[in-house]
Structure 1
Amino acid sequence: MIKALKICLLAAMFCTAYTQLRAQTSITIKNGEKWFGGAVNEAHKMPFKDGYSYDMYADTRGNQAAPLLVSTKGRFIWSEEPFKFTVENNKLVISNAKGALTIDSTGNDLRAAFRNAAKLFFPSKNKLPDTLLFSKPQYNTWIELVYNQNQKDILSYAHAIIDNGFPPGVIMIDDNWADYYGRFDFRADRFTNAAAMVDELHSLGFKVMIWVSPFVSPDTEVFRELLDKKLLLLAKTVKTGDPQKDIDKPAIIEWWNGHSAVLDFTNSDAKNWYQGRLDHMVKTYHLDGFKFDAGDADFYPPDAVSFKPATPNEHSRLWGEIGLNYPLNEYRAMWKMGGEPLVQRLRDKKHNWEDLQKLIPHLTTAGLLGYQFTCPDMIGGGEYGSFIGRDKLDEQLVVRSAQCSALMPMMQFSVAPWRVLSKDNLAIVKKAVNIRAKYTPYIMQLVKQAAVTGEPIARSMEYEFPNQGFADVKGQFMLGSKYLVAPMVASGTMKTVYLPKGIWKNDLGKIVKGPAKIEIEVAADRLPVFELIKK
């Protein structure tokens, strides 16, 4: 360990000098070496092919990202700041680096590359998010209610979960529950008694989260208060020629719900104000936690003025720090917070097969970046426009999506299966929930181990079986080291499964010897699982 640390530190010192002398760093890709990392939402394009390019500065691709690249030959590249990388002519070219690079070659496979990087730069904190997020399904009100979040329909949704035979878990109240962004009280026209609503949800067996963001609606009482205290990100405007005097206008950010100001969390007073409002929500309405949305690096203009100098990426990371105060948390965008007890959800996927096929590579790549407590997107997709028009709904896709999520670290419903599915398909989705219940003790064991070791819960085939030709396999994953999970992620019933060396027992009780490439028929109600009996 000491020797490896010395090597890494020497590499860091060398690379610091190197980047000071050169505008870019070029790394020759070894024969058979394949690279992963950067942005979770790009994982379906990994391992990177010739011509791929990504600049991390002010761009986390709408999901989790980290300044880390890892290779199947055990190498990793890390920087405390964002950088650009391009794959061209069998070289990995690093440019636009905002900080020193560490290039480490002490490992010999993908797992070693991850472990070495994690130990040095994002060690696990031995803390867990609320374990109810793993042990039971989650339910989000977004697809059913969209922007019409209201007390009556939220309670109806919760009662329908129970009435249709689904187990209670965490329920998330989504966007538009307040009068405007920055106000932390329920809007009176839709919530007659929000505290009583939450109490009723508790009585049904749910814990309750609510959607929040770092945005503040302009021209509101809260906005004026925060602007006066300079707790908002500011814009540069030159009138007198004295930049310090002229920085008094808010930076107005365009996002998917219009234009808003954004809190400046480089200022501890802004952080304390925000946390105070969240604590007010917990105390007043008996809430259990928060869904922290937005916070993407690209919502922080590079030329904006903050209390302390910070890159857009650092602003995103600071947003992540808020959630550390609440074990019941969820994030959709994140920068450089690997190893922390924060739940990371994949970004909204469309209701189509192409996006369903992204779930496995995206989730396993999140693990490679240190984000172990991961949640796939809402079952059937979280992009609400896909659900406008009942004729557009593909029931088979909803069923396969539920099966795909069933043995991931978490599974989250939003569209109500009992509303959109036939009786037979609803029964299949409930079967997927029951399958999860069967494996929950093992999942919880992995969750606890991840808090200590930082290792992924859901792992790519290359991670668990290195250098055996699995780097490009995207349609299956390992749940820990024991179970190979191969859900159907395409229309139809035939699937190709790649089994590593060993003796495997499938979910039908059949013994299969690997290594093998097998074609299996997957009935509508089947989730193929292969247990490793003997290596």
Structure 2
Amino acid sequence: MKRKITLLLLAILLAYAPYVKAQHTYQSVIEPLKNERWWGGLVALGHQMPYADQLNRQDMARNNLNNQVVPLMISSQGRYLWSDHPFRFEVKEGRLMISSDYEKLTPIVAGTTLKEAYLAASAKHFPPSGNLPEESFFSLPQYNTWIELMYNQNQADILEYAHQAVAHGFPKGVFMVDDNWQKYYGNFDFKPEKFPDPRAMTDELHRMGFKVMLWVAPYVSADSPEFRLLEQKGYLLKAKGSNKAAMIRWWNGYSACYDVTNPEAMAYLKQQLRENQAKYGIDGFKFDGGDVSYMDGEYDFYEKSANANRYMEQWAAIGLDFPYNELRAAWKQGGQALVQRLGDKDYSWRATQLLIPDMTAAGLLGYAYTCPDMVGGGQFSAFLNIEKFDEELIVRSCQVHAMMPMMQFSVAPWRILSKENSAICAKFAQLHQQMGSYILEQAKHASQTGEPIVRNMEYAYPHQGFIDCKDQFMLGDRYMVAPMVTPGTSRTVVLPKGKWRDDEGKTFKGPKVMTINVPLDRLPYYEKMK
């Protein structure tokens, strides 16, 4: 009998061995090759990539920095590291220092360029699924009510926002109703005092030509009917060793949350969302929250081997059941048909300068279908108590978005800008629509090959001096985009080799460095000629 019990325990240990932390830590010191620099880990650090000689320690198991996390590092000299588990990393005097509780990590040699390293890692560890989110994401602007309405989501103002967008010449697109439309978290009915007839609202938005999405999160308000029902069913995440629902402190206070590692709980949640769709005519959902940074306690997950990173991975995966989806936090999930968004950016020139490097970092971590937050910024506190807006900043932010895979408005240009500058924003929203067929073509290419839609210049033109270029990017392999990300009307452009035609019809032969004039109504971009 003892022998049988021992064998059973051994079998259990072997089954869970890949997921169990080691009793000690594995350390790796990766000596740099000549001219080697590293990208990877956290999308929110894109503006620091490639990492310089010094980078403070980053822990993927503790903080996602309000954005996506991927256990991947890739180098300009064709090497990469991958783990299925979170690890810690830092850079000291050019050396990449890796610390893991699970395994010893060593670099894989995949070639001699950033592109070769990325494509090899993608093919092996997060191959493209062949599927896309809804195609309209890639050609039509998105409109999110967050900055305009904040926590005062209501039917009258939502419809007014949509009508004003159309009246001011902005293309119809995907319309997102943000946080605080629900009675409370975990409930999926509209607040009756704010939405007297929500079905009539969505019907009107549809007649106007918009698709409609709602903000949702995995959290459940404590002491609500839903909380009591879900706790009874065993669908809530439990505090470790207590058999009681854990309380998670997130940006809206303390809430219980769905145990997203429980298949029955997730099936139930998806059923609630589909009932919401049928009742109110909703096309899809913005899946917010699920950040590993809020999971700072000890928990008993339904999936015994799960941890906070697995929780974040499973929350992101819910989007695969809804073609109209959007996420801001994810663990792994590269190559999947999920719309990702950069974390909330401030209303500032510095935040505008982060958009290009953070977007190219998202592409290098497997997230081709990414939106660069909101035009002008998505951090609502940055918009409070502003008497006069920097109109140049808003217009330039809009131009950066225009030739990205997606663009999203929140603060209303027609409210805060002059008539002339609002019209400039409408012009570039229309440019995004005009570029839609090409962007969609690149999205389909990404779904088959894994290649980013927005590409780092070093990725596209390796070892040609672009390693630290953070104010230009490639849209596919055809367009090089060089927006204004600082105040003023002139900038330096570095053209790669080849023949190029700019947005004004002028042709140039690269390689070439030039200073160009960029009036406020111009977005410089260069089409590569055959």
More displaced, 133-142 or 506-515?
A: 506-515
Task: State the shift of 1:302 in Å.
Answer: 4.9
1:497 and 2:500 correspond? no
User: 2:233 matched to which residue of 1?
Assistant: 229
Distance verdict in 2 for CA 1:57–1:98, change over 3 Å:
farther
1:104 to 105, 108, 112: 108
Structure 1, residues 499-529: CA drift from partner, whole Å, max 9, x if none? 1111111111222221122111111100000
User: 2:157 matched to which residue of 1?
Assistant: 153
Q: Distance in 2 between matches of 1:97 and 1:456?
A: 31
Structure 1, residues 79-106: CA drift from partner, whole Å, max 9, x if none? 0001011211332111134346363102
What does 1:120-199 correspond to in 2, within 5 Å? 120-199=124-203
User: 1:435 matched to which residue of 2?
Assistant: 431
User: 1:262 matched to which residue of 2?
Assistant: 257
What does 1:322-471 correspond to in 2, within 5 Å? 322-471=318-467
Matching residue's letter, 1:137:
P
Task: State the shift of 1:434 in Å.
Answer: 2.5
Task: State the shift of 1:50 in Å.
Answer: 2.1
Task: State the shift of 1:57 in Å.
Answer: 1.1
Structure 1, residues 57-98: CA drift from partner, whole Å, max 9, x if none? 132111011000000111010000010112113321111343
1:89 and 2:93 correspond? yes
1:204 and 2:208 correspond? yes
User: 2:299 matched to which residue of 1?
Assistant: 304
Contact 1:487-1:528 within 8 A present in 2 as well: yes
Q: Distance in 2 between matches of 1:430 and 1:295?
A: 34
Task: State the shift of 1:282 in Å.
Answer: 0.7
User: 1:5 matched to which residue of 2?
Assistant: none
Task: State the shift of 1:348 in Å.
Answer: 0.8
Q: Distance in 2 between matches of 1:102 and 1:113?
A: 14
More displaced, 501-510 or 26-35?
A: 501-510
Q: Distance in 2 between matches of 1:405 and 1:22?
A: 42
Q: Distance in 2 between matches of 1:408 and 1:307?
A: 39
Secondary structure of the residue aligned to 2:529 is strand
Contact 2:25-2:100 within 8 A present in 1 as well: no
Contact 2:47-2:357 within 8 A present in 1 as well: yes
Secondary structure of the residue aligned to 2:58 is strand
User: 1:289 matched to which residue of 2?
Assistant: 284
Q: Distance in 2 between matches of 1:199 and 1:510?
A: 46
Q: Distance in 2 between matches of 1:265 and 1:374?
A: 23
1:248 to 210, 228, 243: 243
Distance verdict in 2 for CA 1:214–1:72, change over 3 Å:
same
Q: Distance in 2 between matches of 1:392 and 1:455?
A: 41
Provide TM-score, normalisation by structure 1.
0.93
Q: Distance in 1 between matches of 2:433 and 2:179?
A: 30
User: 1:79 matched to which residue of 2?
Assistant: 83
1:42 and 2:45 correspond? yes
More displaced, 489-498 or 365-374?
A: 489-498
User: 1:64 matched to which residue of 2?
Assistant: 68
User: 2:117 matched to which residue of 1?
Assistant: 113
Contact 1:59-1:313 within 8 A present in 2 as well: no
Distance verdict in 2 for CA 1:22–1:265, change over 3 Å:
closer
1:30 and 2:25 correspond? no
Matching residue's letter, 1:27:
I
Secondary structure of the residue aligned to 1:335 is coil
User: 1:280 matched to which residue of 2?
Assistant: 275
Secondary structure of the residue aligned to 1:87 is strand
More displaced, 389-398 or 326-335?
A: 389-398
Matching residue's letter, 1:514:
G
Contact 1:386-1:392 within 8 A present in 2 as well: no
Structure 1, residues 439-473: CA drift from partner, whole Å, max 9, x if none? 22211111111111111001010011111111100
Secondary structure of the residue aligned to 2:435 is helix
Q: Distance in 2 between matches of 1:311 and 1:516?
A: 50
Task: State the shift of 1:438 in Å.
Answer: 3.0
Task: State the shift of 1:533 in Å.
Answer: 1.3
Matching residue's letter, 2:279:
T
Q: Distance in 2 between matches of 1:329 and 1:178?
A: 18
Distance verdict in 2 for CA 1:22–1:201, change over 3 Å:
closer
Distance verdict in 2 for CA 1:97–1:508, change over 3 Å:
farther
Distance verdict in 2 for CA 1:99–1:177, change over 3 Å:
farther
Q: Distance in 2 between matches of 1:174 and 1:50?
A: 40
Distance verdict in 2 for CA 1:302–1:116, change over 3 Å:
farther
Structure 1, residues 371-399: CA drift from partner, whole Å, max 9, x if none? 00010111011111222234252111110
Task: State the shift of 1:427 in Å.
Answer: 1.5
More displaced, 151-160 or 297-306?
A: 297-306
User: 2:16 matched to which residue of 1?
Assistant: none
Quote the RMSD (CA, aligned, Å).
1.5
Task: State the shift of 1:22 in Å.
Answer: 7.0
Secondary structure of the residue aligned to 1:24 is strand
Distance verdict in 2 for CA 1:384–1:323, change over 3 Å:
same
Q: Distance in 2 between matches of 1:97 and 1:398?
A: 45
Q: List alignment gaps of at least 5 residues for structure 2.
A: 1-18
Q: Percent identity?
A: 49
User: 1:316 matched to which residue of 2?
Assistant: 312
Secondary structure of the residue aligned to 1:501 is strand
Distance verdict in 2 for CA 1:405–1:67, change over 3 Å:
same
Task: State the shift of 1:196 in Å.
Answer: 1.4
